[in-house]
Structure 1
Amino acid sequence: MDLFEETNDWETKLTPILKKYKGRKHPLEYQNLYQLMIMVVLSAQDSDANINSISPALFETFPNMKSLASSSVENLIPHISKVRNFGTKANWLIEIAQTIQENKNIPLTMETLTALKGIGRKSANVIMREAGVPPEGIIADLHVIRVAPRIGLITESKDGNKVEKQLMQILPKTIWDEIGMAFSFLGREICRPKPKCEECPINSICNYYRINR
């Protein structure tokens, strides 16, 4: 019988990765909530490493939401020109800053975050997780999209929102805050496109490992 069809306790099955990655900070090297929000928007379709490399100079020029709000797209672009889709993202960031105005006004609910330009459910889930507020969803980045179907949790999909919806239907809310990043870290380190299955702490419950070992 496929794991997907089982009704066993997924929270127990996934405990090894929940313990391994619990509380680990997101790979974006942010110092505060303002920096995190800006970096999350910039990281869409780009690598965390690239965003980390351009961020120190960016935040030296724009240290807070207020300084960004009083600037312009033209002034911002030179600082993010190495980022994919920098023109569109510059427009998004200036609009976000002018909407929020100050760091203290940064919203922390799914509804208020996704109302901002350039912030979808995945980005909102990351921001909320890092801020330590109660989860309203599960992070479904490209690593989660690869890992969750391999395990046998969900059916395969390239659509992050569909993956998130499936996971929310299967996994208890008690682990929503950590399981997305746990899958993401597992995907970055072990369950890569060419996976290192022998090193995986949950290979005993994994469909992919059962079929391919």
Structure 2
Amino acid sequence: MPTAVNWPKAIEPLIKKYKDFKHPLDYKNTYQLLVMVVLSAQDSDKHINKVAPEIFEKYPNMTALSKATPDDLLEALRGIRNFANKSKWLLEIAHLVKKDSAIPMNLEALTEMPGIGRKSANVILRESGKPAEGVIVDLHVVRVAPRLGIATGTDPKKIEKQIMETLPEKQWDAGMCMSFHGREICRPTPKCEECFMTKVCAYYQRLKAE
């Protein structure tokens, strides 16, 4: 990790650009957000956005979901990657939570629920307007953070820890901002010519030196 970079200052343009961007999942309330976050693991946001309206027509809230039979929910989720496990997890969550207003709004309680890891919990908190308790590290951040040089390796938990240690808490939305940057500019084949982070980017500096 380059020690010369003052990351709290260097990351500001990225946060400024993306801080008000809404997550690509097209949810309408916290219940829908939670369900869609669980469904989108190992699947695409685009696919979940497409199939979600039909699911929410059948199960409009947590109470309705808690009354679903395992067979009915399994059928409703068919076609979604890993739908058998996700069906089981959502039923367990619904039986635990029972109603929309009881959805927990802290990292510890969210990650205690089946099918919700740190990344999913961090997304739910961010999109609900709650203070960050961690850093969102999805597959885009796993690519972007080491390229920039703010973190190293490919383990999401280790990358999250490094970013949390490098940036003050008020800048922890940098994770989701890096995710948006990874979707738009720092793609698998990066558009370096369009990037506004090249001055501090380790990957770009290496390219220039070659």
The TM-score range, normalised by the shorter chain, is over 0.9
Establish whether residue 169 from structure 1 lines up as the match of residue 165 from structure 2: yes
Match of 1:90 in 2: 87
Query: In the aligned structure 2, how far is the partner of 1:7 from the partner of 1:126?
Result: 31
Match of 1:79 in 2: 76
Task: Report SS of the residue matched to 1:204.
Answer: coil
The 5-angstrom pairing of residues 62-211 of structure 1 reads 62-157=59-154, 159-176=155-172, 178-211=173-206
Task: Report SS of the residue matched to 1:203.
Answer: coil
| TM-score, with length taken from structure 2 | 0.96
Establish whether residue 55 from structure 1 lines up as the match of residue 52 from structure 2: yes
* Counterpart selection for 2:41 from 41, 44, 57: 44
Q: Which amino acid aligns with 2:49?
A: N
* Counterpart selection for 2:17 from 15, 20, 38: 20
Q: Is the 8 A contact 2:140 2:178 kept in 1?
A: yes
Q: Is the 8 A contact 2:63 2:98 kept in 1?
A: yes
Query: In the aligned structure 2, how far is the partner of 1:41 from the partner of 1:209?
Result: 35
1:5 CA displacement: 3.0
| TM-score, with length taken from structure 1 | 0.95
Task: Report SS of the residue matched to 2:159.
Answer: helix
Q: Is the 8 A contact 1:54 1:79 kept in 2?
A: no
Q: Is the 8 A contact 1:69 1:97 kept in 2?
A: yes
Q: Is the 8 A contact 1:46 1:84 kept in 2?
A: yes
**Residue segments in structure 1 that go unaligned for 5+ positions in a row:** none
Query: In the aligned structure 2, how far is the partner of 1:162 from the partner of 1:35?
Result: 29
Query: In the aligned structure 1, how far is the partner of 2:5 from the partner of 2:137?
Result: 22
Task: Report SS of the residue matched to 2:199.
Answer: helix
**Per-residue CA shift, 1:7-43, capped at 9, x if unaligned?**
5431211111111111211000000000000000001
Q: Hey, which bits of structure 1, 4+ residues long, moved more than 2 A? A: none
Percent of aligned positions that are identical? 51
- CA RMSD, aligned part only? 1.0
**Per-residue CA shift, 1:103-127, capped at 9, x if unaligned?**
0000011110001000000000000
